[in-house]
C-alpha cells in the first residue's frame, strides 16, 4: 500500500505543463550514488562528492536532478540491490540535494524507495520499468499525485522486432495501468529508454524517429548520454563520448524531446541554447 506523506509536511509539486512553455528542453542532471553505474560508478557514492556534484550541475544549468542509488545500466552486469541498501545510500544525501532548491527526481523501480524519497522532498518518480515491474508503483504515484517518468524497457534486445511499434505498445500498456490507478495524463512523461532492451541500431532508430512519439501528446524525455550506440559509430569509453552525446541530444531536442537527461550538464545546456538560437533565425 502506498504511504501518505508525513502529516504536516507539504509535498511540493512539479507542473509538467511548464515544459511546453520553454524554448529549449529542460536539462536533467544525472547523480548516480552507486559503485557500479556504467559511466561514473563510484565517483559520487560519497555524500560530500555527491552533494558537490549536484551543486555543480545546478550552477551550470540543471533544471532537475535525477538521483539514483541502484545501477540500472542497460548492458547487463548490474547487481540487484535490496531496498534497504538503496535507502542506506540515499539517506546521507537526498535531503541535502533537495535543499539545493531545484526539483529532484528519484530514479528507482521500488515503490518503498520512491515513497521514502518523496517524503524527503523529491517531486518526480523515474521508473525504468514504466509502471510494469511492481504493481505498487502506480498506486503510490496516484496517491502522491506526483509526475512519473514512464520508461520503455525489455529484459533483452531482439534485433528482429519493429522497435517503434514495440515502444508504442509498451507505452499503451503503461498508460492503461496509470489510468486504472488514477494517475492523470498531466502527470506522465514518456522515455523511450535509449539503450535499454535495444540493439545499438534500434537506439539510433528511436532517436531518428523520436517525433513519432508525439502522437501520445505527452512530454518526452531522452537519456542518450554516454550510451553504447555512440561507441558503435565512434569507438570510445563512456567518459569519452561527450561529442556523440551532444549530437544525440541536439537531435532529440529537434525531434521534440522536452527533457534531456545527461551526465554533462554545462555542455548540454550550451549546445541546446546555441541550437535554439540558430533555429530562431530561420
Which class for 3: exposed (0-12), middle (13-18), buried (19 or more C-beta within 10 A)? Answer: middle
pLDDT of 78: 60
**Known active-site residue 255:** no
75 within 8 A of 39, measured Cβ to Cβ: no
Model pLDDT, residue 6:
40
Give the total residue count for the chain: 282
Residue 153: phi, psi to the nearest 5? -150, 155
C-alpha distances in Å from residue 108, one per residue of 56, 124, 133? 23, 11, 11
Q: Which of 227, 228, 241, 255 is catalytic?
A: 227
Q: pLDDT tens for residues 211-270? A: 999 999 999 999 999 999 999 999 999 999 999 999 999 999 999 999 999 999 999 999
Sorted by where each starts, the structural domains of the chain and their CATH numbers stand as 22-279 (3.20.20.20)
Dihedral sign for Cα atoms in the order 146, 59, 231, 256: positive
What pTM was estimated for this model as a whole? 0.91
Is 227 a residue of the active site? yes
Amino acid at each position: 500500500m502506498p504511504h501518505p506523506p508525513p502529516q504536516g509536511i507539504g509535498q511540493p509539486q512539479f507542473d509538467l505543463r511548464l515544459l511546453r512553455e520553454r524554448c529549449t528542453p529542460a536539462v536533467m542532471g544525472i547523480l548516480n550514488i552507486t559503485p557500479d553505474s556504467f559511466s561514473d560508478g563510484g565517483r559520487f557514492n560519497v555524500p560530500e562528492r555527491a552533494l558537490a556534484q549536484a551543486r555543480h550541475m545546478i550552477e551550470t544549468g540543471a533544471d532537475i536532478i535525477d538521483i539514483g542509488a541502484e545501477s540500472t545500466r542497460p548492458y547487463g552486469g548490474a547487481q540487484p540491490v535490496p531496498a534497504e541498501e538503496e535507502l542506506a545510500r540515499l539517506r546521507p544525501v537526498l535531503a541535502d540535494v533537495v535543499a539545493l532548491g531545484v526539483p529532484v527526481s528519484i530514479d528507482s523501480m521500488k515503490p518503498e524507495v520512491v515513497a521514502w524519497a518523496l517524503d524527503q522532498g523529491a517531486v518526480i518518480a523515474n521508473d525504468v520499468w514504466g509502471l510494469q515491474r511492481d504493481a505498487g508503483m502506480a498506486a503510490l504515484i496516484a496517491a502522491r499525485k506526483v509526475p512519473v517518468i514512464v520508461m520503455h524497457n525489455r529484459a533483452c534486445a531482439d534485433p528482429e522486432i519493429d522497435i517503434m511499434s514495440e515502444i508504442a505498445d509498451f507505452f499503451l500498456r503503461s498508460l492503461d495501468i496509470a489510468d486504472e490507478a488514477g494517475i492523470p495524463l498531466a502527470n506522465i512523461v514518456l522515455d523511450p529508454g535509449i539503450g535499454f532492451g535495444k540493439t545499438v541500431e534500434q537506439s539510433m532508430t528511436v532517436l531518428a524517429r523520436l517525433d513519432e512519439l508525439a502522437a501520445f501528446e505527452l512530454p518526452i524525455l531522452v537519456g542518450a548520454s554516454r550510451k553504447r550506440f555512440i561507441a558503435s559509430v565512434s569507438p570510445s569509453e563512456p567518459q569519452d563520448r561527450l561529442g556523440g552525446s551532444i549530437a544525440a541530444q541536439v537531435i532529440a531536442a529537434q525531434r521534440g524531446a522536452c527533457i534531456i537527461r545527461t551526465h554533462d550538464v554545462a555542455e548540454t545546456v550550451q549546445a541546446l541554447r546555441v541550437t535554439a538560437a540558430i533555429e530562431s533565425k530561420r
